[in-house]
């Protein structure tokens, strides 16, 4: 029997392959996440964000010379063009950082030396520019809106350490630096999620990488994607203490409301990134001596597992990331821009992969509007 469009339709394109890719791999039932075949656990334990970005873009582990050159290029590209610095420091301070980031990422194209981006050197420089400059733009706007002077990037600091330095103006501790580095690694790639798909669709029109990543940033801004970590933190703060968690969960069940940070479209077991972030949170809270949020989160996870594990609903990456960023002293509305700063590595890798083997995305639809009908002139309606 021939399948109809209705037979093939899946809301949100769930489970429908849209491309071939060799960048990331997920097994949602087993809780496996790999970048280019390397497990997320191994990368977080042994690697750095700079090395992970290289792996995602080029597909292999770099030699020491290749990594040194790649890292040096990132350092060299951190400075924001002066005209964009002036624009960022004249924008409304109450604007959301993601709106600023989307606009300024697109504007980077105006200062790029690339034109067609078919040349490998142009491609490489554009990808470097995006990965290096996005954190600088986030930090600049955050300090500007707080009435603080810009902190210029420090060429002696690595990617994660420099980002925290540009945000606060102070050198972060080794613990904070390593945790930020691992957070960047954890969020660097996650196969064909909404923002990555958006980037690939935009790329398929033969657009430049800055426009493609700007489209991805706009998609990530949505509360069902990158914005969820902010909502998790607000939820935990509103609960107040671990003693109030059970009542909170039962009220949510009774009212059939979603609990933020619980459940994932792909994972049917605990998100492996959540497990890594949980361990990071515990180490960080040992250093900052503020455990109420973590205690509340632990209790919520325990009760959520009791209530929802049979349905395949477990904590996802957003459940602990907001707690970690909060402990690092980062403003809540910077959480999603940090997600974007990390995901630039995966996005540009997908931009390159789509560019190298491109076909314009043009899905079909199931029409359910009016059947053919005749136009009636306005005097007869």
238: domain CATH number? Answer: 1.10.230.10
**Which residues are within 8 A (CB) of 249 and not within 5 positions of it... i.e. 6 or more apart?**
259, 300, 303, 304, 307
Residue whose C-alpha is closest to residue 50's, from 176, 135, 166, 158: 158
Tokens of 126: 């554009």
Q: Do 137 and 65 fall into the same domain?
A: yes
pLDDT attached to residue 350:
98
Tokens of 346: 């995966």
pLDDT attached to residue 59:
97
By the 10 Å C-beta count (0-12 exposed, 13-18 middle, 19+ buried), 183 is classed as buried
Residue whose C-alpha is closest to residue 335's, from 231, 216, 236, 191: 231
**Which residues are within 8 A (CB) of 309 and not within 5 positions of it... i.e. 6 or more apart?**
none
Q: Do 132 and 257 fall into the same domain?
A: no
pLDDT attached to residue 316:
78
The answer to the question of residue 368 being in a domain is no
pLDDT attached to residue 75:
98
The answer to the question of residue 211 being in a domain is yes
Answer yes or no: are the C-beta atoms of 215 and 106 closer than 8 Å.
no
pLDDT attached to residue 1:
63
Instruction: Find the catalytic residue in 159, 187, 190, 264.
Output: 264
Please provide the average confidence, as pLDDT, over all residues in the chain.
Answer: 91
Q: Do 37 and 171 fall into the same domain?
A: yes
338-356 pLDDT, tens per residue?
A: 999 999 999 999 999 999 9
Examine the residue annotation and report whether 318 is marked as an active-site residue of this protein: yes
Instruction: Find the catalytic residue in 318, 350, 356, 379.
Output: 318
22-71 pLDDT, tens per residue?
A: 999 999 888 899 999 999 999 999 999 999 999 999 999 999 999 999 99
Instruction: Please name every residue paired with 262 in a beta bridge, in sequence order, or none if there are none.
Output: 315
pLDDT attached to residue 119:
85
pLDDT attached to residue 147:
97
Q: Which CATH number fits the domain that encloses residue 41? A: 1.10.580.10
Alpha carbons 153 and 169: distance in angstroms, whole number: 10
Q: Do 211 and 277 fall into the same domain?
A: no
Alpha carbons 142 and 97: distance in angstroms, whole number: 7
The answer to the question of residue 332 being in a domain is no
The answer to the question of residue 79 being in a domain is yes
pLDDT attached to residue 256:
85
Instruction: Please name every residue paired with 104 in a beta bridge, in sequence order, or none if there are none.
Output: none
In terms of residue numbers, what domain contains 120?
Answer: 19-223+341-356
pLDDT attached to residue 338:
96
The answer to the question of residue 251 being in a domain is yes
Alpha carbons 223 and 3: distance in angstroms, whole number: 35
Q: Do 211 and 236 fall into the same domain?
A: no
Using CA atoms of 29, 35, 40, 44 in order, give the dihedral in degrees to the nearest 10: -170
Q: Do 273 and 213 fall into the same domain?
A: no
Q: Model's pTM, two decimal places? A: 0.90
pLDDT attached to residue 131:
98
Q: Do 204 and 250 fall into the same domain?
A: no
pLDDT attached to residue 101:
98
Examine the residue annotation and report whether 264 is marked as an active-site residue of this protein: yes
The answer to the question of residue 218 being in a domain is yes
Q: Do 311 and 352 fall into the same domain?
A: no
Answer yes or no: are the C-beta atoms of 108 and 132 closer than 8 Å.
no
Q: Do 137 and 61 fall into the same domain?
A: yes
pLDDT attached to residue 290:
57
Rg (alpha carbons) of the chain, rounded to whole number: 22
The answer to the question of residue 109 being in a domain is yes
Q: Do 138 and 56 fall into the same domain?
A: yes
Q: Which long-range contacts (CB under 8 A, 24 or more apart) does 57-66 make?
A: 57/127, 57/345, 57/348, 57/349, 57/352, 59/22, 60/36
DSSP for residue 245 = H
Answer yes or no: are the C-beta atoms of 183 and 280 closer than 8 Å.
yes
The answer to the question of residue 366 being in a domain is no
CA 148, chain centre distance (Å): 26
Average pLDDT for runs of 10 along the chain of length 381: 75 86 93 95 96 98 98 98 97 96 97 81 95 98 97 98 97 93 95 96 96 97 78 86 89 85 76 84 70 81 82 78 86 93 98 96 91 96 94
Q: Do 148 and 80 fall into the same domain?
A: yes
How many structural domains are present in the chain?
2
Q: Do 278 and 148 fall into the same domain?
A: no
């Amino acid at each position: 029997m021939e399948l109809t469009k209705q037979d093939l339709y899946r809301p949100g394109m769930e489970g429908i392959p849209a491309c071939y890719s060799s960048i990331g791999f997920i097994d949602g039932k087993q809780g496996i996440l790999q970048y280019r075949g390397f497990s997320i656990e191994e990368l977080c334990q042994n690697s750095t964000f700079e090395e992970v970005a290289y792996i995602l873009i080029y597909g292999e582990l770099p030699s020491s010379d290749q990594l040194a050159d790649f890292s040096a290029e990132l350092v060299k590209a951190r400075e924001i063009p002066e005209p964009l610095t002036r624009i960022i420091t004249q924008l409304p301070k109450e604007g959301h950082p993601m709106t600023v980031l989307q606009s300024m990422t697109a504007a980077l194209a105006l200062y790029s030396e690339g034109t067609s981006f078919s040349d490998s050197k142009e491609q490489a420089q554009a990808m470097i520019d995006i990965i290096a400059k996005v954190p600088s733009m986030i930090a600049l706007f955050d300090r500007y809106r707080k009435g603080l002077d810009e902190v210029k990037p420090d060429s002696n600091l690595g990617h994660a350490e420099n980002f925290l330095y540009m945000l606060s103006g102070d050198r972060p501790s080794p613990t904070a630096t390593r945790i930020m580095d691992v957070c960047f690694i954890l969020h660097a790639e996650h196969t064909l999620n909404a923002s990555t798909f958006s980037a690939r669709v935009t790329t398929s029109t033969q657009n430049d990488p800055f426009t493609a990543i700007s489209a991805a940033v706009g998609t990530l801004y949505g509360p069902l994607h990158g914005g969820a970590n902010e909502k998790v933190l607000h939820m935990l703060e509103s609960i107040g203490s671990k003693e109030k968690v059970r009542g909170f969960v039962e009220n949510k069940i009774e009212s059939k409301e979603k609990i933020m940070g619980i459940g994932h479209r792909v994972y049917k077991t605990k998100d492996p990134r959540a497990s890594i972030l949980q361990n990071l949170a515990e180490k960080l809270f040992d250093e900052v001596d503020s455990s109420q949020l973590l205690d509340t989160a632990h209790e919520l996870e325990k009760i959520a597992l009791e209530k929802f594990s049979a349905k395949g609903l477990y904590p996802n990456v957003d459940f602990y990331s907001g707690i970690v960023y909060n402990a690092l002293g980062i403003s809540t509305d910077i959480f999603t821009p940090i997600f974007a700063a990390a995901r630039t590595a995966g996005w540009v890798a997908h931009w390159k992969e789509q560019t190298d083997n491109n076909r314009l995305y043009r899905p079909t639809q199931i029409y359910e509007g009016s059947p053919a009908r005749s136009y009636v002139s306005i005097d007869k309606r």
